[in-house]
């Protein structure tokens, strides 16, 4: 089935928001051409250690390798688009970090639903059953900013789950930072997100979501595992001058207002990310793609059966 989760413009936006990206070439060909490398004055081409081939099964980077411009990097184990899609379809919760041993519950939230979305060869089930991604202190340092807030900085604080980090999130962080000079992002724990959203949310566990936030060019600092309600202690400890929340935040639907304290302090600001993309919309896209795939296969099976029946009838005559 179609695995693409983001449209072209969303993928361009996601790449631009990554702090290691200097420029984005839109509508780039799948097979890298030497002419394009010369046009953009590229010195080297980097790719993961997985094999990339074109429609003919040939190496997509054959010309680049021949020119001695290819750099191969080891891919991070335990996290990939395929793995995340598997978690969405199977409704698995085994990737969550448990606060307590007794928090471990059933592996599948809705077994009936998950079985109906199982992969043809079981590939998604194998990858989604357990997250093998391990976060080390060295990896966090690689992602984290080394810049501490200066006394003259205006510190802005935002928080959220930031699950399946997407352009809607990065747009929000960009707009929030415009209200100051130093942006601190609080990321909710897996248990907090699951308590509020249910099902198998979050799709990405806390460590994965923290690294996603740290990879965004607008993030200066990240607080790991913050509570749902913003406390005065956090705001005073971090010397926060403004607290921002999205104009379309779903937390308005809860009985307890998580922004009660910053509102009382007069430092609450509502910002518009100018994007209606949400984690839930992304999940629905994947599920709809799966349903479309199954419907195409169902129709194909019916057509094949009719052709076989007609062929058998003709042979008898």
Taking the chain (317 residues) in consecutive chunks of 10 residues, what is each chunk's mean pLDDT?
71 96 93 93 92 86 94 83 80 60 42 36 38 77 91 97 94 97 97 88 93 97 95 95 87 80 96 88 83 80 79 66
Give the per-residue pLDDT at 312.
Answer: 66
pTM above the 0.85 mark?
no
Closest CA to 51 of 64, 43, 42, 60: 60
Spatial separation of the C-alpha atoms in residues 240 and 157, rounded to whole Å = 6
Q: Is 132 helix (H, G, I), strand (E, B) or coil?
A: coil
Q: Tell me what pLDDT residue 105 has.
A: 42
DSSP at 18: B
pLDDT for 248: 73
**Quick one: DSSP state of residue 53?**
B
Write down the pLDDT at residue 2: 44
The two three-digit tokens of residue 49, written as one number: 């250690």
CA–CA separation, 255 vs 63, rounded Å? 60
Q: What's the Cα-to-Cα distance from 308 to each of 297, 299, 300, 301, 316, rounded to whole Å?
A: 16, 14, 12, 10, 12
pLDDT, position 88: 81
Per-residue model confidence (pLDDT) at position 290: 78
Peptide bond connecting 212 to the previous residue in cis, omega within 30 degrees of 0: no
- What per-residue confidence (pLDDT) applies to 306? 80
* Beta strands per DSSP E along 147-206: 155-160, 182-188
pLDDT at 112: 33
What is the rounded CA–CA span in Å between residue 7 and residue 75? 23
């Amino acid at each position: 089935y179609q695995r693409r989760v983001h449209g072209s413009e969303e993928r361009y936006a996601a790449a631009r928001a990554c702090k290691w990206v200097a420029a984005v070439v839109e509508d780039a060909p799948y097979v890298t051409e030497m002419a394009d490398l010369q046009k953009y004055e590229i010195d080297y081409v980097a790719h993961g250690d997985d094999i990339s081939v074109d429609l003919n099964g040939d190496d997509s980077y054959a010309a680049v390798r021949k020119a001695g411009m290819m750099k191969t990097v080891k891919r991070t184990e335990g996290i990939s688009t395929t793995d995340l899609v598997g978690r969405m379809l199977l409704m698995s919760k085994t990737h969550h970090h448990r606060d307590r041993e007794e928090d471990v519950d059933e592996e599948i939230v809705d077994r009936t639903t998950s079985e109906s979305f199982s992969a043809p060869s079981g590939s998604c089930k194998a990858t989604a059953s357990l997250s093998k991604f391990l976060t080390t202190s060295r990896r966090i340092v690689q992602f984290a900013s080394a810049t501490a807030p200066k006394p003259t900085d205006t510190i802005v604080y935002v928080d959220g789950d930031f699950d399946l980090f997407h352009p809607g999130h990065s747009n929000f962080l960009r707009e929030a930072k415009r209200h100051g000079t130093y942006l601190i992002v609080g990321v909710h724990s897996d248990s907090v997100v699951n308590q509020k959203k249910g099902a198998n949310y979050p799709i990405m566990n806390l460590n994965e979501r923290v690294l996603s936030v740290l990879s965004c060019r607008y993030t200066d600092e990240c607080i790991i595992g913050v509570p749902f309600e913003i406390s005065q202690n956090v705001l005073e400890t971090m010397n926060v001058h403004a607290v921002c929340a999205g104009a379309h935040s779903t937390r308005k639907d809860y009985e307890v207002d998580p922004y009660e304290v910053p509102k009382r302090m007069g430092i609450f600001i509502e910002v518009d990310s100018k994007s209606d993309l949400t984690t839930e919309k992304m999940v629905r896209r994947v599920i709809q793609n799966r349903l479309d795939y199954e419907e195409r296969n169902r129709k194909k099976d019916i057509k094949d059966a009719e052709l076989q029946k007609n062929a058998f009838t003709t042979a008898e005559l």
